[in-house]
Structure 1
Amino acid sequence: MVDQDSIEESPVLPAVAQPSGLRYLFGTWSGRLLLVNFAFFGLICWLSGSIFFPDMDTLLRLGAKDPVLLAEGQYWRLLTPMFLHVGIVHFGFNSYFLYIVGYQIERLLGAQWFMLVYLLAGLGGNIASAAFSVNMSAGASSALFGLLGAGFLLERTVGSRIKQLTGRRPKNRAYAMTLVINLGLGLLIPFIDNSAHLGGLITGCLLTAAMINLRPNSLHKLNRVTGSLLVLTILALFAIGAQMATSVTLIHRRLVSAAETASTEGDKIYRYSQAITLEPSDWESRLKRARLYINQGAMNYAFGDLRAVLGLGQQYQDAIKAFAAELDQSGYTNQAWEVRQMLSHADVN
Structure 2
Amino acid sequence: MFSRTENFSQYIRLYPVVTFFLAVNILVYLITIIPGIGDQVRLVGIGNNYLIAEGEWWRLFTPMFLHGGIIHLFFNMFSLFIFGPELEKIAGRMRFLTIYLLSGIFADIATFFLQDLDYLHLGASGAIFGIFGAFGALVHYTKHVLPQLRQIILPIILISVVMTYLQSDINTTAHIAGLIAGFLIGLSYFHPKRIARWKKR
Q: Distance in 2 between matches of 1:184 and 1:70?
A: 29
Q: Structure 1 residue 148 and structure 2 residue 136: aligned?
A: no
Aligned to 1:60: 43
Opposite residue 155 of structure 1, the aligned amino acid is V
Aligned to 2:58: 76
Q: Distance in 2 between matches of 1:25 and 1:36?
A: 14
Larger RCO: 1 or 2 (CA < 8 Å, sep 6+):
2
How much has 1:31 moved relative to structure 2? Answer: 1.0
Q: Distance in 2 between matches of 1:19 and 1:110?
A: 18
TM-score, length-scaled by structure 1: 0.51
Q: Distance in 1 between matches of 2:36 and 2:192?
A: 46
Q: Distance in 2 between matches of 1:25 and 1:130?
A: 34
Aligned to 2:188: 210
Q: Distance in 2 between matches of 1:210 and 1:175?
A: 19
Summarize the Cα distance change of 1:18–1:170 in structure 2 as closer, same or farther, 3 Å threshold: closer
Opposite residue 173 of structure 1, the aligned amino acid is Q
Aligned to 1:340: none
How much has 1:40 moved relative to structure 2? Answer: 0.3
Task: State the Cα deviation string for residues 213-252 of structure 1 (Å, max 9, x = none).
Answer: 386325xxxxxxxxxxxxxxxxxxxxxxxxxxxxxxxxxx
Q: Secondary structure at the match of 2:161?
A: helix
Summarize the Cα distance change of 1:74–1:188 in structure 2 as closer, same or farther, 3 Å threshold: same
Residue identity over aligned pairs, in percent, reads 29
How much has 1:60 moved relative to structure 2? Answer: 1.8
Q: Distance in 1 between matches of 2:22 and 2:77?
A: 7
Aligned length: 194
Q: Does the 8 Å CA contact 2:164/2:170 hold for their aligned counterparts?
A: yes
Q: Does the 8 Å CA contact 1:18/1:103 hold for their aligned counterparts?
A: no
Summarize the Cα distance change of 1:111–1:18 in structure 2 as closer, same or farther, 3 Å threshold: farther
Aligned to 1:118: 100
Summarize the Cα distance change of 1:188–1:217 in structure 2 as closer, same or farther, 3 Å threshold: same
Aligned to 1:88: 70
Summarize the Cα distance change of 1:18–1:76 in structure 2 as closer, same or farther, 3 Å threshold: farther
Q: Structure 1 residue 157 and structure 2 residue 141: aligned?
A: yes
Opposite residue 136 of structure 2, the aligned amino acid is F
Opposite residue 36 of structure 1, the aligned amino acid is V
Q: Which runs of 5+ in 2 are unaligned?
A: 197-201
Q: Structure 1 residue 199 and structure 2 residue 183: aligned?
A: no
Task: State the Cα deviation string for residues 293-346 of structure 1 (Å, max 9, x = none).
Answer: xxxxxxxxxxxxxxxxxxxxxxxxxxxxxxxxxxxxxxxxxxxxxxxxxxxxxx
Q: Distance in 1 between matches of 2:59 and 2:126?
A: 14
Q: Distance in 1 between matches of 2:92 and 2:99?
A: 11
How much has 1:128 moved relative to structure 2? Answer: 0.9
Q: Structure 1 residue 24 and structure 2 residue 11: aligned?
A: yes
Aligned to 1:174: 152
Q: Which runs of 5+ in 1 are unaligned?
A: 1-13, 164-168, 219-349
Q: Does the 8 Å CA contact 1:25/1:35 hold for their aligned counterparts?
A: no
Q: Secondary structure at the match of 1:217?
A: helix
Q: Secondary structure at the match of 2:143?
A: helix
Equivalent residues in 2 for 1:289-328 (5 A)?
none
Q: Secondary structure at the match of 1:216?
A: helix
Larger Rg computed on CA atoms: 1
Aligned to 2:29: 41
Q: Distance in 2 between matches of 1:215 and 1:128?
A: 30
Q: Distance in 1 between matches of 2:156 and 2:62?
A: 26
TM-score, length-scaled by structure 2: 0.87
Q: Secondary structure at the match of 2:194?
A: coil
Q: Does the 8 Å CA contact 2:4/2:82 hold for their aligned counterparts?
A: no
How much has 1:131 moved relative to structure 2? Answer: 1.3
Task: State the Cα deviation string for residues 234-277 of structure 1 (Å, max 9, x = none).
Answer: xxxxxxxxxxxxxxxxxxxxxxxxxxxxxxxxxxxxxxxxxxxx
Q: Distance in 2 between matches of 1:189 and 1:90?
A: 12
The two structures, once aligned, show a CA RMSD in angstroms of 2.5
